């Protein structure tokens, strides 16, 4: 007698599908109680729905039983324990449905018990036999025990199904978030310049390994795009890429965000929580703005990188994680190490494969290509027709210094499209230089006659590197303007027709300011 009960209890803990768990439960009941059929039904909106029927015709599972129409089921639902029907004239809900009997076969013996969970009736279990005396030797406690186990099975199955739905939902959400991030941020380094091609080659090399990479470069150059490109080309592409902005982590919560915490670890920790390292298990963790990470958290990050183990705040148990770490910063971490703001051992552990992302001004050839890409995004966002640039707008884009790099270019294209559209929808938009809202030093445009004379003369400009020639011209113009303004940079900026801040940045890049 003990073996079927043990089987039922073990099945409650087994990793089984709901259908298998109920089927094995019904088979165990038939071994415990000599019957022709077993039915386990859940109460759903006042209707009893069969979840398993052992010994019943296949179409029984598709039927729905309204208790008011089946007096025996109603009595079972209203009872507080097992119910036995002896020589009852009440019709049985399974008359004619027992396999092996004829369609007129009437059930002559029936026992049933409500399934009760936490004081609430959630279903019934019913056993039936064609022999009127089949249950004479069956103890009602046996059925009560079976009913308790059936209720537990129903609860276990419900919890498992609920968890599976939650996990499926979260997986779907994560998948859509990654798709959205790829669309919004991108995972491809665009450009035809030599610099862009070299960068893509470096990304391809890094992606083939699981090495930790430190991505450096000025603000707005596209370090996150590079990180996403590495992840999407790696063997972890189908796993999550978890993004962490270290600059947005206050010192008091940084450790908890990265490594998680247990309940009661600190004020406000009302429940346990997994950190970003656990969330990225099997995938990639991208630590953006790493230079802003609090010094107090850095030793624990170093340990996680070295051992692959993390420890939740307030816990003494280590958790092993399989995470590939990519980090990015616009700070000079070597200088931060020298100043004591960043740990030297962590810097060396992170920079196993350093990758520098060049500023946009170093790849002028890519400006118009990128502008076209961002204009297409702007067209989609603003709901306008084709967006085009005039020749004057193109010249200004190429001549501009782009201190904010690719991010600034993206925002400029969105703003310029909005200005040029003037509220129009589904119409083509033409962006002129005036819509860009940027101040640049533009080389004077010569007439065809003047250009021909210059080309024919011996003192015309030599053919050479265009970027170097433009920078030389800028230096000359800035020096003359500052000299004419008596050393006043604000006045010099007005003479040149550009913003004072842009003038200072340009002068610093050109080596005119220390």
Q: Are 193 and 363 in contact (CB under 8 A)?
A: yes
Dist. CA 66–CA 74, nearest whole Å? 9
The tens digit of pLDDT for each residue in 261-277 reads 887 777 777 777 888 99
For residue 424, the model assigns a pLDDT of 64
The conformational region for residue 87 under phi > 0 = left, psi -120 to 50 = alpha, else beta, is: left
* pLDDT tens, the chain, 514 aa long: 445 555 555 555 555 566 777 788 888 888 888 888 888 888 888 899 888 888 888 888 888 999 999 999 999 999 988 998 876 678 888 888 888 765 555 767 888 889 888 788 888 989 988 888 888 888 888 888 878 877 777 776 665 555 555 555 455 455 545 555 554 555 688 898 899 999 999 999 999 999 999 999 999 999 999 999 999 999 999 888 999 999 988 887 888 889 988 877 777 777 778 889 998 999 999 999 999 999 999 999 999 999 999 988 888 788 899 999 999 999 999 999 999 999 999 999 999 999 999 999 989 889 999 999 999 889 888 888 889 999 999 988 988 989 999 999 999 999 999 999 876 666 788 999 899 988 764 444 333 344 444 444 445 445 555 666 777 888 888 888 888 888 888 788 778 877 676 787 788 888 887 6
H-only helix segments in 357-447: 367-382, 391-399, 405-421, 433-436
pTM: 0.57
In three-state form (DSSP H/G/I as H, E/B as E, the rest C), the secondary structure along 167-190 is HHHHHHHHHHHHHHHHHHCCCCCC
Per-residue confidence (pLDDT) for residue 507, from 0 to 100: 84
Using an 8 Å Cβ cutoff, are 217 and 356 in contact?
yes
Residues making up the chain, counted from first to last: 514
Per-residue pLDDT at 187: 64
In contact, 216 and 357? CB cutoff 8 Å: yes
CB 183, CB 380: distance < 8 Å: no
E strand residue ranges, 118-258: 120-129, 213-216, 241-245
Q: 348, 206 in Cβ contact below 8 A?
A: no
pLDDT at 262: 83
Q: Using DSSP, state whether 109 is helix, strand or coil.
A: strand
Nearest Cα to 398, choosing from 467, 464, 487? 467
What confidence tens digit (pLDDT) does each residue in 56-103 have?
888 888 889 999 999 999 999 999 889 988 766 788 888 888 887 655
């Amino acid at each position: 007698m003990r073996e079927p009960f043990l089987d039922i209890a073990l099945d409650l803990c087994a990793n089984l599908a709901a259908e298998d768990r109920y089927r094995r439960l019904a088979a165990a009941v038939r071994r415990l109680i000599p019957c022709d059929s077993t039915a386990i039904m859940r109460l759903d909106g006042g209707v009893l729905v069969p979840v398993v029927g052992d010994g019943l015709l296949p179409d029984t599972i598709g039927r729905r039983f309204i208790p008011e129409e089946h007096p025996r089921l109603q009595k079972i639902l209203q009872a507080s324990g097992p119910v036995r029907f002896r020589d009852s004239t009440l019709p049985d809900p399974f008359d004619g449905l027992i396999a092996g009997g004829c369609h007129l076969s009437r059930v002559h013996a029936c026992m049933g018990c409500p399934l009760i969970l936490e004081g609430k009736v959630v279903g019934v279990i019913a056993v039936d036999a064609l022999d009127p005396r089949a249950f004479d030797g069956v103890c009602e406690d046996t059925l009560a025990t079976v009913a308790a186990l059936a209720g537990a099975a129903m609860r276990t199955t419900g919890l498992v199904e609920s968890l599976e739905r939650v996990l499926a939902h979260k997986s779907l959400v994560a998948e859509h978030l990654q798709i959205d991030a790829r669309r919004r941020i991108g995972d491809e380094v665009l450009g035809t310049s030599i610099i862009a091609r070299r960068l893509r080659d470096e990304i391809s090399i890094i992606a083939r390994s699981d090495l930790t990479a430190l991505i450096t470069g000025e603000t707005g150059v596209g370090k996150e795009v590079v990180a996403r490109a590495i992840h999407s080309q790696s063997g972890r592409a189908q796993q999550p890429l978890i993004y962490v902005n270290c600059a947005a982590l206050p010192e008091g919560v940084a450790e908890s965000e990265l490594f998680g915490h247990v309940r009661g670890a600190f004020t406000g920790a009302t429940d346990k929580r997994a950190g970003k390292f656990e969330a990225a298990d099997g995938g990639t963790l991208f630590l953006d703005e790493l230079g802003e990470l609090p010094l107090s958290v850095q030793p624990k990050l170093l340990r996680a990188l070295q051992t692959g183990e993390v420890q939740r705040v307030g816990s003494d148990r280590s958790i092993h994680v399989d995470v590939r770490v990519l980090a990015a910063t616009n700070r000079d971490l070597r200088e931060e190490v020298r100043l004591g703001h960043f740990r030297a051992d962590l810097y060396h552990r992170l920079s196993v494969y350093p990758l520098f992302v060049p500023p946009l001004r170093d790849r002028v050839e890519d400006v118009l290509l990128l502008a076209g890409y961002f204009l297409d995004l702007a067209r989609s966002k603003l709901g306008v027709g084709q967006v085009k640039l005039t020749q004057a707008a193109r010249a200004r884009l190429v001549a501009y210094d782009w201190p904010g790099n690719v991010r600034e270019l993206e925002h400029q294209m969105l703003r310029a499209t909005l200005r040029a559209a003037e509220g129009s929808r589904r119409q083509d938009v033409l962006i002129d230089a005036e819509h860009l809202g940027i101040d640049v030093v533009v080389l004077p445009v010569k007439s065809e006659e003047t250009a021909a004379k210059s080309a024919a003369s011996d003192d015309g400009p030599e053919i050479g590197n265009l970027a170097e020639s433009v920078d030389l011209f800028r230096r000359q113009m800035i020096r003359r303007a500052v000299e004419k303004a008596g050393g006043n940079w604000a006045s010099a900026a007005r003479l040149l027709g550009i913003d004072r801040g842009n003038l200072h940045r340009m002068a610093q890049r050109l080596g005119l300011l220390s």
